[in-house]
Structure 1
Amino acid sequence: MFMPIELRRRISFIASAALISAASMGLAGCSEEKAETAELVRPVKVIEIAEADTARQLTYSGAVRARTEMNLGFRVSGKIVERLVNVGDRVKVGDLLARIDATDYELAVRSASANLDAAERQVETVMLVRDRAEQLLARKFASQAQFDQAVLSYNQAVATRDAAKSALSQAKNQVVYTSLAADRPGIVTGINADVGQVVGSGTPVATVAVEGEKEVQVAVPETEIANFRAGLPVKVGLWADKALSLDGTVREVAGSADQQSRTFSVRVSLPNDQRVLLGMTATVEASAGGDTPFVSVPLSALAQKDGYPIVWVVDRGTELVRSRPVTLADFTGDGVRVTDGLEVGDLVVAAGTQFMADDLKVTISNDTSHQSALVTPEADDTRLVR
């Protein structure tokens, strides 16, 4: 049968399109099938658990301070008229720190001096009366009672004169006390009052850190204070110089906790080192033993499941990861201490825990050079699971 050329071209085009569509669907089906059968293998970073330890490192931060600090104040009250030092100034014995108005105390000296002069004149007067009574008694012109009265008046005048002398000395001392001076060499670390302020007797005006032995003061919680005792050797580091490590000794442990922070003050003596300056931030490290063994893992290895802490462990034989609940002891600056849930030889995922799921397939590399590494905050050996 005869068919027009145009019609035959349209039929041929439709047939070709159908064949292409069918081929495309077949290829897509094969791709989806292969995608469904392809197994996801995710590279992760792991650590190997080695031998457990029972010793813990306790680290606390504190500040370098002088062993002796003096809060200096005036021994008399008055208005401050001059302050001669600032924070950070070095002072020597006798250096003037501040002065208060001495006008009233100088007037008191004048009054006491006048009273002393009057008392001395009174002593001279009664002394003449006593001598005259003694002469009359010898000639039988005066009685013994009159002589005794003259002697008593003289002794009373002498006592009044001595009291006037003491009052004058006290008034002069108060004038001296209007000047606040350093009695030991050191560094001014605080100013608590300024010019124009009226201070009472004993009110702290300046704080001076006495030159000599330095120490670090740290606050230790009550759960760890039993690990500290006088004479305990510790390591002290300075934030300003990471390479500097000093051997310190616990000098004093507070007998009671602070009422606000509920921590105990521990003072650590430092060796004499010119690089250690007052006010520097320091870290104190001490070792504490315990009965419960633990292993340390990086904080990145810790995850949560149903509100409980877990880690992801890689099975060496099946190369699958499984979640495992753990019991935590405490946290450190570099990781977390685990007391239960991990055994020697376990491979723990150290990074990428947010992508983990039970029975996720991984492949362990053949590198076994770090299998005996001890997992501690100081040595965090890791391997890549491919």
Structure 2
Amino acid sequence: MTVTSHRRSSVFARGLLVAAALAALSACSEEKKAEAPEVVRPVKVAEIGPPDEGRKLVYSGSVKARTEMNLGFRVSGKITERLVDVGDRVKAGDVLARIDETDYKLSLDSADANLASAQKQAEITQIALKRAQTLRDKNVSSQADLDQATLSRDQAIAAQHSAEASLDQAKNQVAYTELKADRPGIVTAVSADVGQVVASGSAVLTVAVDGSKEVLVAVPEMDVAQFKPGKAVKANFWSSDNLALDGKVREVAGSADSQSRTFAVRVALPDDDRVLLGMTATITASLDNSSPAYSVPLAALAKKGEQSIVWVVDRQKGTVNARSVTIADFSDDGVRISKGLSTGDLVVSAGTQFMKDDMKVRLPETVTSRFGSVNSMTAASVGVSAGN
């Protein structure tokens, strides 16, 4: 019994020693864990700006008059005089150019002589008709003689009318040797000069008629469907940052240009004295049926299962959490999110594969965004906001 009690006491003592050793090791391990600092991962973030309205269609063009007249002579001939240059202002009725009128004046003289002859012939036949009528009344001549005299008189009168028309035509031909402006405007082009022989109807001068102005832009076929007559657009001008006008699409070409394969689109502008012909303008239009959305960098988009997510930073706690989002479409510089984000949110824009919920992150103290300089201990931005 004494030996058994001694053995039991020895085993119990060894157990106490092992337990004490294990407790000491556990305490050391916990102390080391407590001393180990929590990992805080530095991240790059983007501050979400106001929602945009979708991709913008931006095209450059030049200001033109709504009506441009290509003026040419109504008769052919050699140009003897040009009285205007490009940029000159003209009024209705102003003579712009002349062609040689020598042959046309000769035709006028010939027509005048023919008319005089026809008038004399008409007078002679009228006298002959009266004589024939008198003789017939006295039964000296036959009815056939009277009918012949009447016919001759009618033919002479018809010839006189023809000669009068020929004279009027000859006068017009002489008048057409002067090229006149039909409406007030500005000369924008000269297509023929002194000494050149031109055919009737050939363009000699181009005049931009005073009045409404418009911007002519060339739109590729992939975007032409977005331009319909009546669509509201914005017009900005390189000449002045303060000059911006609301315009409307007036006309869209029905076929593409054979060389550029683009469609000519004309945008009507409101009257403004600051808009001059030839100015360079930029037309900006929105896509049809576009909805507001927030732009984020493509690298900010991640996947959790089948759901698209972004990692949003809690400014107060300095932690990140996954947030489900709905993708509207993709833009040139990122992704457009229609649901799940708000203006001012901070999203992780790089290294999303290392993120997990409630992870501590470290952000730069000073940030600069499109909205100005922002000093914050918990905010950073790479300048991502609404827009293209």
CA distance in 1, matches of 2:235, 2:292: 26
Give the secondary structure class of the aligned counterpart of 1:258: coil
CA distance in 2, matches of 1:86, 1:45: 62
Matches for 1:83-102 after TM superposition, within 5 Å: 83-102=82-101
Per-residue deviation, 1:223: 1.6
Give the secondary structure class of the aligned counterpart of 2:270: coil
Per-residue deviation, 1:65: 0.7
CA distance in 2, matches of 1:107, 1:330: 73
Amino acid at match of 1:347: V
Q: Establish whether residue 377 from structure 1 lines up as the match of residue 387 from structure 2.
A: yes
Task: Sort the Cα spacing of 1:45 and 1:110 in 2 relative to 1 into closer, same or farther, 3 A.
Answer: farther
Give the secondary structure class of the aligned counterpart of 1:204: coil
Which range moves more in the overlay, 118-127 or 91-100?
118-127
Per-residue deviation, 1:49: 5.4
State the structure with more CA Rg: 2
Please say if residues 237 and 280 of structure 2, whose CA atoms lie closer than 8 Å, have aligned partners that are also in contact. yes
Please say if residues 44 and 363 of structure 2, whose CA atoms lie closer than 8 Å, have aligned partners that are also in contact. no
Q: Establish whether residue 116 from structure 1 lines up as the match of residue 115 from structure 2.
A: yes
Please say if residues 97 and 181 of structure 1, whose CA atoms lie closer than 8 Å, have aligned partners that are also in contact. yes
Please say if residues 132 and 146 of structure 2, whose CA atoms lie closer than 8 Å, have aligned partners that are also in contact. yes
Task: Sort the Cα spacing of 1:65 and 1:54 in 2 relative to 1 into closer, same or farther, 3 A.
Answer: closer
Give the secondary structure class of the aligned counterpart of 1:142: coil
Per-residue deviation, 1:56: 1.9
CA distance in 1, matches of 2:190, 2:58: 32
Per-residue deviation, 1:121: 1.4
Please say if residues 105 and 175 of structure 1, whose CA atoms lie closer than 8 Å, have aligned partners that are also in contact. yes
Q: Establish whether residue 212 from structure 1 lines up as the match of residue 222 from structure 2.
A: no
Matches for 1:334-349 after TM superposition, within 5 Å: 336-338=333-335, 346-348=347-349
Per-residue deviation, 1:285: 0.8
Per-residue deviation, 1:112: 0.5
Give the secondary structure class of the aligned counterpart of 2:123: helix
Give the secondary structure class of the aligned counterpart of 2:349: strand
CA distance in 1, matches of 2:331, 2:178: 55
Q: Establish whether residue 184 from structure 1 lines up as the match of residue 194 from structure 2.
A: no
Per-residue deviation, 1:224: 1.5
Per-residue deviation, 1:363: 6.1
Q: TM-score, normalised by structure 1?
A: 0.70
Matches for 1:18-29 after TM superposition, within 5 Å: none
CA distance in 2, matches of 1:56, 1:167: 66
Please say if residues 231 and 249 of structure 1, whose CA atoms lie closer than 8 Å, have aligned partners that are also in contact. yes
Deviations 1:68-88 (A, max 9, x none): 110010000000000000000
Per-residue deviation, 1:229: 1.7
Per-residue deviation, 1:61: 0.6
Deviations 1:338-367 (A, max 9, x none): 469xx9654336xxxxxx9x99xx963244
Which range moves more in the overlay, 254-263 or 145-154?
254-263
Please say if residues 64 and 278 of structure 1, whose CA atoms lie closer than 8 Å, have aligned partners that are also in contact. yes
Please say if residues 54 and 291 of structure 2, whose CA atoms lie closer than 8 Å, have aligned partners that are also in contact. no
Please say if residues 44 and 348 of structure 2, whose CA atoms lie closer than 8 Å, have aligned partners that are also in contact. no
CA distance in 2, matches of 1:377, 1:47: 14
Q: Establish whether residue 233 from structure 1 lines up as the match of residue 247 from structure 2.
A: no
Q: Establish whether residue 250 from structure 1 lines up as the match of residue 260 from structure 2.
A: no
Give the secondary structure class of the aligned counterpart of 1:65: strand
- Give the structure 2 partner of residue 39 of structure 1: none
- Give the structure 2 partner of residue 9 of structure 1: none
Per-residue deviation, 1:228: 1.7
Unaligned runs of 5+ residues in structure 1 are 1-42, 303-312, 320-327, 350-355, 379-386
Give the secondary structure class of the aligned counterpart of 2:81: strand
Per-residue deviation, 1:186: 0.5
- Give the structure 1 partner of residue 272 of structure 2: 273
Q: TM-score, normalised by structure 2?
A: 0.69
Give the secondary structure class of the aligned counterpart of 1:278: coil
Count residues in correspondence. Answer: 309
Per-residue deviation, 1:180: 0.5
Please say if residues 87 and 189 of structure 1, whose CA atoms lie closer than 8 Å, have aligned partners that are also in contact. yes
CA distance in 2, matches of 1:146, 1:370: 117
Task: Sort the Cα spacing of 1:131 and 1:243 in 2 relative to 1 into closer, same or farther, 3 A.
Answer: same
- Give the structure 1 partner of residue 162 of structure 2: 163
CA distance in 2, matches of 1:60, 1:337: 22
Please say if residues 54 and 289 of structure 1, whose CA atoms lie closer than 8 Å, have aligned partners that are also in contact. no
Unaligned runs of 5+ residues in structure 2 are 1-41, 300-309, 321-328, 355-360, 366-375
Taking only the aligned residue pairs, the percentage that are identical comes to: 54
